[in-house]
Amino acid sequence: MVLVLIEALIAACLVGAAVTFMVPDRYAGKVGLAASLVPLGIATYMFATFEASGNALMGGQLAFEEQFQWVTLGEAYALNWHVGLDGISMPLVALSTVLTSLAILSAWTPIDERQSQFYGLVLFMEAALLGVFSALDFFVWFVFWEGVLVPMYVLIGVWGGPRRKYAAIKFFVYTNVASLAMFIAFVALVFGLGDAVDTFDMPAIAAALGETGIQADAVPVPGLDVETFKILVFAALFFGFGVKVPVVPWHTWLPDAHVEAPTPVSVLLAGVLLKMGTYAMLRFNFTMLADVARDPNVAVAVGLFAAVSVIYGAMLALAQSDLKRIVAYSSVSSMGYVILGLIALTVYGVGGATFQMVSHGLISGLLFMVVGVIYNQTHTRMVQDMSGLADRMPVTVGVFVAGAFAYMGLPLMSGFAGEFFVFVGSFGSPNLPSSPVFTAVSMFGIVVVAGYLLWAMQRTLFGPFRLETDYELGRAPVQDVLPLLALLALVVLLGVAPDLAFEMIRDAVNPMVGGEVSAALGGGA
Residue 23 backbone dihedrals phi, psi, to 5 degrees: -85, 155
The CA R_g of the chain, rounded to the nearest whole Å, is: 22
CA distances (Å), origin 308, targets 325, 332, 340, 345, 500 = 19, 10, 10, 19, 31
Q: Residue 524's pLDDT is what?
A: 42
- Give the count of alpha carbons within 13 A of 85, CB side only: 27
CA distances (Å), origin 241, targets 92, 149, 157, 312 = 17, 14, 23, 19
- pLDDT, tens digit only, all 525 positions of the chain: 445 899 999 999 999 999 999 999 999 999 999 999 999 999 999 999 999 999 999 988 999 999 988 877 766 677 889 999 999 999 999 999 999 999 999 999 999 999 999 999 999 999 999 999 999 999 999 999 999 999 999 999 999 999 999 999 999 999 999 999 999 999 999 999 988 888 899 999 999 999 989 998 888 888 889 999 999 999 999 999 999 999 999 999 999 999 999 999 999 999 999 999 999 999 999 999 999 999 999 999 999 999 999 999 999 998 899 999 999 999 999 999 999 999 999 999 999 999 999 999 999 999 999 999 999 999 899 999 999 998 889 999 999 999 999 999 999 999 999 999 999 999 989 999 999 999 999 999 989 988 889 999 999 999 888 888 877 777 788 899 999 999 999 999 999 999 999 999 999 999 998 754 433 334 443
Nearest-angstrom CA–CA distance, 24 and 40: 24
Nearest-angstrom CA–CA distance, 122 and 490: 22
| Helix (H) or strand (E) segment spanning residue 392 | helix 389-392
For the chain, the structural domain boundaries read 295-301+309-525
Sequence-separated (6 or more) residues with CB below 8 Å from residue 52: 60, 61, 62, 63, 85, 86, 87, 90, 504, 507, 508
78 touches 198 (CB < 8 A) = yes
Q: Residue 77's pLDDT is what?
A: 76
Burial per residue of 497-524, b for 16 or more beta-carbon CB atoms within 10 angstroms, e otherwise = ebeebbebbbbbbbbbbeeebeeeebbb
- Give the count of alpha carbons within 13 A of 476, CB side only: 30
Burial per residue of 173-183, b for 16 or more beta-carbon CB atoms within 10 angstroms, e otherwise = ebbeebbebbb
Nearest-angstrom CA–CA distance, 142 and 135: 9
Q: Residue 75's pLDDT is what?
A: 64
Q: What is the DSSP letter of 368?
A: H
Phi-psi label, residue 51: left if phi above 0, alpha if psi -120 to 50, beta otherwise: beta
Q: Residue 164's pLDDT is what?
A: 93
* 151 prior amide bond cis, ω within 30: no
Tell me how far apart the terminal alpha carbons of the chain are, to the nearest angstrom: 39
3-state SS of 97-163 is HHHHHHHHHHCCCCCCCCHHHHHHHHHHHHHHHHHHHHECEHHHHHHHHHHHHHHHHHHHHHHCCCC
- Most distant CA pair in the chain: distance in Å? 74
Sequence-separated (6 or more) residues with CB below 8 Å from residue 260: 156, 160, 161, 162, 163, 164, 166, 167, 168
Q: Is the dihedral of CA 126, 129, 330, 87 positive or negative?
A: positive
* 39 prior amide bond cis, ω within 30: no
366 touches 403 (CB < 8 A) = yes
Nearest-angstrom CA–CA distance, 39 and 16: 9
Sequence-separated (6 or more) residues with CB below 8 Å from residue 506: 87, 347, 351, 517
Q: Residue 474's pLDDT is what?
A: 73
Closest by CA position to 135, among listed 6, 312, 23: 6
Nearest-angstrom CA–CA distance, 337 and 314: 12
The total of other beta-carbon atoms located within 10 Å of residue 69's CB is 11
Q: Residue 74's pLDDT is what?
A: 65
- Coil, strand or helix at 433: coil
β-strands 63-73, 77-85 pairing: antiparallel
Q: Residue 334's pLDDT is what?
A: 93
Q: What share of the chain is helix, strand, coil (3-state, %, to 5)?
A: 70, 5, 20
The secondary structure of 210-243 as a DSSP string is HHT---GGG-SSTT--HHHHHHHHHHHHHHHHHH
